[in-house]
Amino acid sequence: MKLINLFLLFALICLASCEPPAQMNKVQLGEWNSDDKNEGLSDEEWQRSMRDLSDGNRTIPSSSEVTSHIDSFLTPANDCYNYFNPSDSISNPASKGARTVLASFYQSCAAIDNVITSRVNTLKGVTSVRVADGKCGVKSRRIRKIYDRDAFIKSHIVLSKLDNDPSYPGPGCIDKRKAPPVYGYCSTTNVNSKGEAKLSQKGMGVAKSSLPASGIDCSAFISLALGSQGLKVSKTDDKFKRYTTTGFAGAAQSSKNSCLKSPVFSEEKSIIPGDIINYRASHVVMIDAVGEDPLGIDKFSKTSNCGAITIDAFDFTYIHSGLTGGNYGPSRVHVSAHNGSSSTMFNNLVQLARKACAKKVKGEKELGSASKLHSSNARFGLLRHQSDDPRCRTDKKVKIEGQSCIDQCVEKGS
């Protein structure tokens, strides 16, 4: 019996190690720790489960029996992610800006380390309320309302951990449990005359009846991410300017002064950290980190099966403020959270990836610009900031409220 249990322990370690070659290139979702092995099972439950499998066996269980038993509670293979190099994100000024704003909203780099996937539970304690005030250019819109702060915090992938951290908030830092970050359409962050952006305010996207909250919408978040690093959207901008999704699209089409260009794909490179995915009049996100084959182009071109590329083939994280996970607002998300979904933004990216893949199958070295690869939908755009152009940068960087609390961990890659 001891031999069987030793065999099971060895098999378990092998299966849980996330080492199979097929999984080695996945982008990192967070730091691995000893608690991750059981996904919520106590040590006693873990050991008892192993004993249940071996009880009554006079021979060593087959590998399929071991695998089937462990798979009943172990994280699916597709959720095993290898560590990527954090410097890939912080060396790009745009993605570094997104990380800076995200961590500042929570006053902790735990916001970067904890990533939303398809397995993250929907937030509790928050709802949406429809208002017909005619603001923000629409007759009727939905705004957010936090009605149970304790439930919101306990169900939150980041705040729940900070709530159990006795060292949070750090010295001189802001306790964001008192005004949790949340998505709020039309909640913008104004920059004062000193070039400072306050984050702890509701804005027009959060109901007045809501408990205290820090609201921000998608385009305001991306605008701040760029502004925090002194990145202009237009060469003519002399100070920080908040752009909407329509504004980003318009700026990109102004080839003369635009600092946002459609990236050119090659056989070796597609999306990179800092790229912006914009869907006009809907949503905008920033690519944070990418796996070795972020759009599945390399994998599917080898089998000439480009039409089989779906969101499931993607491997990258992005940062945004949006509704993912139920009004999470500022968050880092792995694209697998959208597997099997009808997401218009990411399904447009699928079409782009398929066309790039088809060109690679033909042996082309340059696969074309993103705008030419996917020109069928004028609302969709993949944009890259021209940060190497000095005309697209300024020394007037936006100072983010509470940024001093997180600068060190952002610089280290969290």
DSSP 243: -
CA distance 240 to 224: 8
CA distance 105 to 123: 17
Q: What is the DSSP string of 17-71?
A: T--SGGGTTPPP-S---GGGGTTT--HHHHHHHHHHHHTT-SSPPPHHHHHHHHH
DSSP 258: B
Which tokens go with 94? 């745009």
pLDDT grade for 195, boundaries at 50, 70 and 90: confident
Query: ∠213-339-373 over CA atoms, to 5°?
Result: 100
CA dist 30 → 62, 112, 117, 121, 329 (Å): 33, 8, 11, 17, 19
Give yes or no for residue 76 having a pLDDT over 50: no
Average pLDDT, the chain: 81
- pLDDT of res. 414: 53
Q: What is the percent of the chain with per-residue pLDDT over 90, rounded to a whole number?
A: 57
CA dist 14 → 45, 322, 378, 389, 406 (Å): 19, 37, 48, 48, 36
3-state secondary structure (DSSP) of residue 170? coil
- pLDDT of res. 33: 37
Of the listed ranges 50-64, 250-264, 316-330, the least confidently predicted one is 50-64
Give yes or no for residue 372 having a pLDDT over 70: yes
What is the average per-residue pLDDT within 8-26? Answer: 43
Of the listed ranges 40-54, 213-227, 298-312, 331-345, the least confidently predicted one is 40-54
Q: Which of 190-194, 370-374, 401-405 has the highest mean pLDDT?
A: 401-405
Give yes or no for residue 74 having a pLDDT over 50: no
pLDDT grade for 413, boundaries at 50, 70 and 90: low
What is the average per-residue pLDDT within 317-331? Answer: 90
Comparison of pLDDT for 111 and 341, the residue scoring more: 111
3-state secondary structure (DSSP) of residue 331? strand
Give yes or no for residue 284 having a pLDDT over 70: yes
The pairs formed by 373-378 with CB atoms below 8 angstroms and a separation of 24 or more are 373/265, 374/348, 376/351, 377/348, 378/280
Which tokens go with 141? 């819109």
- pLDDT of res. 31: 38
Give yes or no for residue 305 having a pLDDT over 80: yes
- pLDDT of res. 100: 96
Q: Are 281 and 388 in contact (CB under 8 A)?
A: no
pLDDT grade for 391, boundaries at 50, 70 and 90: very high
pLDDT grade for 89, boundaries at 50, 70 and 90: low
Q: Tell me: the pLDDT tens digits for 93-130?
A: 999 999 999 999 999 999 999 999 887 888 999 999 88
What residue ranges do the domains of the chain occupy?
Answer: 2-79, 84-414
What is the average per-residue pLDDT within 373-378? Answer: 83
Give yes or no for residue 155 having a pLDDT over 80: yes
CA distance 97 to 231: 9
Residues contacting residue 265 through CB under 8 Å, at least 6 positions apart: 297, 356, 366, 367, 368, 369, 370, 373
Phi and psi at 165, nearest 5°, equal -100, 110
Comparison of pLDDT for 1 and 144, the residue scoring more: 144
What is the average per-residue pLDDT within 284-305? Answer: 96
